Every structure is written in C-alpha cells, then in structure tokens.
Amino acid sequence: MRVTGFFRLIAGFRPPPRGRFSALLQVGHALGSHSRLRVLLFGAALCPTAPATAQEDGRALAQRALATYGLVAIPNPSTTFLTFSQVEDARATLRSGQIGGGLNPAEGLPLYLEGFAGYQRYAPEFLLDSAARDRDIDARWTAVSSTFGVGWDVPINDTWLVRPVLNLSLGRISADAQLGMAAPAGDPGGTSEFLTSGEIIAGGYGGSLMLVHKDYTEAREIDFSLRYTDMRFVTLDSSPDFNPTAQASAVTAWGRLRMPLGHVQTWDSPVRSVYQASLSVLPGDQGDAVDLDWLGRVGAGLEIGTRNTGIAYLSRARLMVSYAFGDGYDGYSVGIGMSF
C-alpha cells in the first residue's frame, strides 16, 4: 500500500500596499503593478479594495462565499500553496488550510480512495450604507470542508493509467459580525442578517478524471498527473428563495522527479533530491471570485527515508522550497510532504 499525503504550512502573511510579504514558514515577496496575491487568497465574498455595500444582497454575498469556499473544498493533486495560510491587509484577513491525499488500499487492487479536509476563516471589512452615514464593519466568516473521492484505476500500460473519480463534499460556512447599529432602512435581501448570523450548510458533488504516470527505477523516480475536477456546490438547509450555488473546476498538471543524492543515507535509506512543478487553471466560479485564471509553482528539496525510524506507516518525508507565480504576483514558500 502506498499513500501520498501533503501538509503545507504558510502562515503569517501580511502584505503591505506594495505587495511585499513575510511568512512564518514562507519567505518571499509579491510583485507586480497590481498585486493579486491578496485577491488570490482572500477574494472570498468581496475584494477588500472595493468593500461591499448594502446594495449587494445577502444571497449575492452567500454565493460569493460559496464560490471561494471551493478553493479549499475542491481536491488538488498538488494541494496548492493555499494549504495553510494567513493573509492580512488593511481590509481583510484569511486563514485557510487543507490536508489530504489518496491511496490504493491494497496492492494490486485498482480501487482508489482520497480524502481532503479544509478550513477557512475569512475576516473582511464591509461598508454598510445607511441613511445617516456609511459604516465600516468587521465580519468573520468561518468555513470547514470535507471532500471524499472514490475512483478506479484503468491501466494503459505498465507506467500509465486513467483514473475516473467520483467526489462528494460536505461543509459549513458561518458568519459573525457586530454591526454596532441598526440595520439600514431597506436592507435588501437580508444583507445585515447574513453578515451577523448567516450560516450555510454546503454540499458538493462532481467528479474528476486523472491521467497518471509512474516510472520508478533505482536511478530516478518520475511522477506525473493531469487532473480535471468539476464540482457543484449547493446549500442543503436554505429556503427555496435563498439557494446560492457555485460551480468550481480546476485543471492541474503536476510532475515530480526524485533522484538519490550520491551515496548519502539516513536510517539506511538514500537521501533524494526532489524537483517538482505544477500548473493549475481555474475556469470555475472560484477563479472568478478571486480574480485568478492560473497558478504555477516550481520547487526543489530533499527527501529522506523514514521506514527505520519507528514512526508507524511513514515511509518518506521531504522538505520543499517552492516559487509560486500567477497573473500579477509571485512568491516563495516552504512546504513539507510525506509518503506513507
């Protein structure tokens, strides 16, 4: 049985106006005439540079929140660098995380299982219109997600296979804000109500189609996957007149090369150099919500064998340094990967 899981930690983002940021386990900067890094990571309901007004009703807010929720709910073979992050600027903060992986539960069995758990906490600042004056309010949106997949491996030859996967997701999004004043007259669509006590039980369904390549020799190990995922997210507990939906989709190409680092060993296992790259295209609602069409990443690192350490099930661990880039920004990250 071989399982590959990912856990990436990117915390403490605080990009100033010119797009520079620092991180607890990520060091880098955001560049460009208009930094989209903040839009990428916290473009949930509203762009912080253009705060929402009461003219945007509660249903529209919920629909945008549901679209951004797709960023942590949709499975991604490279797990993306959104896996665990905190982003702040003058108007919004987002913390989001995802951990997940996939496996064939028995050697020689074509059944494939995957699972991902996600967390997202979004704290935007809204502009609420009233007859007397406009007022900024701080809101807090919290989301948790779980996504599962069941697939079947269809071999093409010894190193290539096609894997269709059925995906289901269940999650919860809740809102909490202190207005400090009465709701404005003519509050359309319950905007104030959604900001202060809104809650969505979200369900998702869809599927993925993967092309997978594995070619392992003593001299090098090559992994490659091309995955298309499309999922529809709906509310499970809303009334017929309040039923926001979102369609999230992603196309991700991911590749990794591992080679022994000479004769260097730890715990009687070779130390390997690791090189990997990925490119994700986001044609769904989540891409529109965060104003991001694509995301690329290249990285390098070291991998050690851990079978003889006494840690149950863990066979390898690796430390990766990656350079991430997209339309209008770039940055650096440090991540940890594990194979079981």
- In sequence order, what DSSP letters do the residues of 142-158 get, joined into one string? EEEEEEEEEEE-EESSS
- Dist. CA 288–CA 282, nearest whole Å: 8
Give the side-chain half-sphere CA count within 13 A for 97: 15
Q: Which residue in this structure is represented by tokens 């930094």?
A: 35
Coil, helix or strand at residue 25: coil
User: 237-276 in b/e burial notation, b at 16+ Cβ within 10 A?
Assistant: ebeeebebebbbbbbbbbbbbbbbeeeeeeeebbbbbbeb
Residue 167 phi/psi, 5° resolution?
-120, 140
Q: Could you give the dihedral angle defined by the CA atoms of residues 267, 270, 273 and 278, in that order, rounded to the nearest 10 degrees?
A: -90
What is the CA angle 333-335-340, rounded to 5?
160
Per-residue pLDDT, 310: 76
> Region 73-83: what's the mean pLDDT?
63
Question: In the predicted model, is pLDDT for residue 297 greater than 80?
Answer: yes
Per-residue pLDDT, 140: 72
- Dist. CA 207–CA 217, nearest whole Å: 32
0.85 surpassed by pTM: no
What percent of the chain shows pLDDT beyond 90?
28
User: 212-233 in b/e burial notation, b at 16+ Cβ within 10 A?
Assistant: beeeeeeeebebbbbbebbbbb
Question: In the predicted model, is pLDDT for residue 178 greater than 70?
Answer: no
Least trusted range by pLDDT, from 18-27, 160-169, 194-203, 226-235: 18-27
- Dist. CA 16–CA 92, nearest whole Å: 12
75: its two tokens? 């499975």
Alpha-carbon separation of residue 251 from 241, 282, 320 (angstroms): 33, 7, 23
Per-residue pLDDT, 154: 98
**Residues 190 and 57: beta-carbon distance below 8 Å:** yes
- Dist. CA 250–CA 225, nearest whole Å: 13
Coil, helix or strand at residue 308: helix
Q: Give one word for 328, left, alpha or beta, with left for phi > 0 and alpha for psi -120 to 50.
A: left
Residue of 313 and 248 predicted with greater confidence: 248
Domain ranges of the chain: 3-339
**Residues 28 and 15: beta-carbon distance below 8 Å:** no
Question: In the predicted model, is pLDDT for residue 114 greater than 80?
Answer: yes
**Residues 81 and 329: beta-carbon distance below 8 Å:** no
Please determine, looking at this structure, whether the domain spanning 3-339 carries the CATH number 2.40.128.
yes
Least trusted range by pLDDT, from 104-113, 185-194, 289-298, 331-340: 185-194
